[in-house]
Amino acid sequence: MFTEMHSPLQQLPHTKHPKLWMKRDDLIDPYISGNKWRKLKYILKAARAAGKSHLVTYGGAYSNHLVATAAAAARSGLKSSAFVRGEEVNNEMLILCKLYGMNLIFTSREAYREPATCYNKLFANNPDTYAIPEGGASEEAVRGCAEIIDELPADTAHIICAAGTGTTAAGLLKGIVASGRQIQLHVVPVLKGGDFITTEIIRYEPFINQLSMHLDYHFGGYAKTKPELLQYMQQFIAKTGILIDPVYTAKMCFATEDLIKKGILPVNEKVIALHTGGLLGIMGMKDKFIF
């Protein structure tokens, strides 16, 4: 299931920047998309090596990680369960999870704050279950994301990514430091107060000379948006033919554009924008769009 195929690189047309490319991790798989595929690669290997047959994870009702885990489990012949934050709902993402056979356990917001307690209530001493943290955040996930660096062209000077938990960014930085390459990592937190992500990254890779944090592109916070961002996103999609989403990749692309304008991403240096996937959620967002 986890092939060694590299995701494609595609040049982005830009009037000022002739060396702007996008790493299309969104094309790796439609349902185990982007960074979720990268994260799950070694998690599934570890689960299998431990002889486990049932993945148990956590997420919100619109979580890309839940769909990715459900799809990966089904394709690997494993069972899957998930603690879903909040009261019982139904939506496009959860329907996909159910089609893949995932058992959804709706969990109050209070109880959800204690993941280990949730797990132990249902699965303590269960020899078959393998717990995956929310969003897949783990050493295995970092290792999977680090492999992206090995796939970048030799003249890459900058890579830019969106961050929610920072696990993907941690993997990228770890990959950069391990390779000894002169690549600067630019991280765009999609939530307010994203500085905690630096702390998260340091847990996995303490050497942060090649890390630049850009905290001003959250557009009000996680899953929040503004007309300016939606308009930018619509124009980007129409111009490039590449779908991006308002929660993660549109904020990253908007930041890329602005950092080019400010000269932080110089026009003579190769820039790779990482498309981390996660496009399924757009289907449930019709109320957000103004057109």
Ligand X SMILES: *Cc1c(COP(=O)(O)O)cnc(C)c1O
Buried b (16+ CB within 10 A) or exposed e, 24-63: bbbbbbebbbbbbbbbbbbbbebbeeeebebbbbbbbbbb
Work out how close the CB of 26 gets to ligand X at its nearest, in angstroms, rounded to a whole number.
Answer: 8
Is 33 noted as a catalytic residue in this protein? Answer: no
By CB under 6 A, residue 144 contacts ligand X:
no
Task: Identify which of residues 156 and 167 has a Cβ nearer to ligand X in the complex.
Answer: 167
Residue span binding ligand X (CB under 6 A) among the ranges 104-112, 116-124, 164-172, 178-186: 164-172
**Cα separation, 83 vs 104, whole angstroms:** 6
By CB under 6 A, residue 129 contacts ligand X:
no
Of the candidate residues 166, 175, 194, 246, the single one contacting ligand X (CB under 6 A)? 166
Residue span binding ligand X (CB under 6 A) among the ranges 1-9, 13-21, 146-154, 166-174: 166-174
Residue span binding ligand X (CB under 6 A) among the ranges 9-17, 102-110, 112-120, 274-282: 274-282
* Distances in whole angstroms, Cα of residue 107 to Cα of each of 51, 93, 123, 126, 197: 28, 17, 15, 20, 26
**Cα separation, 59 vs 120, whole angstroms:** 17
Site for ligand X in 87-126 (CB under 6 A): none
Q: Which residues contact 92 (CB under 8 A, 6 or more apart)?
A: 280, 283, 284
The span from the first CA to the last CA of the chain, in angstroms, equals 39
**Cα separation, 125 vs 101, whole angstroms:** 23
Choose the catalytic residue: 7, 33, 63, 80: 63
Task: Identify which of residues 215 and 269 has a Cβ nearer to ligand X in the complex.
Answer: 215
Q: Residue 291 is inside which H or E element, if any?
A: none
Work out how close the CB of 287 gets to ligand X at its nearest, in angstroms, rounded to a whole number.
Answer: 20
By CB under 6 A, residue 64 contacts ligand X:
yes
Q: Which of 279, 276, 291, 191 is nearest to 231 (CA)?
A: 291
**Cα separation, 171 vs 276, whole angstroms:** 13
Bridging pattern class, strands 20-24 and 9-11? antiparallel
Task: Identify which of residues 19 and 162 has a Cβ nearer to ligand X in the complex.
Answer: 162
Q: What is the DSSP-derived secondary structure letter of residue 27?
A: G
Site for ligand X in 178-237 (CB under 6 A): none
Of the candidate residues 162, 185, 213, 273, the single one contacting ligand X (CB under 6 A)? 162
163 φψ region: left (φ > 0), alpha (ψ -120 to 50), beta (else)? beta
* Distances in whole angstroms, Cα of residue 242 to Cα of each of 27, 44, 45, 207: 10, 29, 31, 34
Task: Identify which of residues 19 and 31 has a Cβ nearer to ligand X in the complex.
Answer: 31
Residues touching ligand X: how many (CB under 6 A)? 18
Work out how close the CB of 135 gets to ligand X at its nearest, in angstroms, rounded to a whole number.
Answer: 5
Of the candidate residues 80, 129, 225, 249, the single one contacting ligand X (CB under 6 A)? 249
By CB under 6 A, residue 135 contacts ligand X:
yes
By CB under 6 A, residue 242 contacts ligand X:
no
Of the candidate residues 59, 144, 164, 175, the single one contacting ligand X (CB under 6 A)? 164
> Where does this chain bind ligand X (CB under 6 A)?
34-36, 64, 135, 162-169, 248-249, 276-278
Q: Give catalytic residue positions.
A: 63
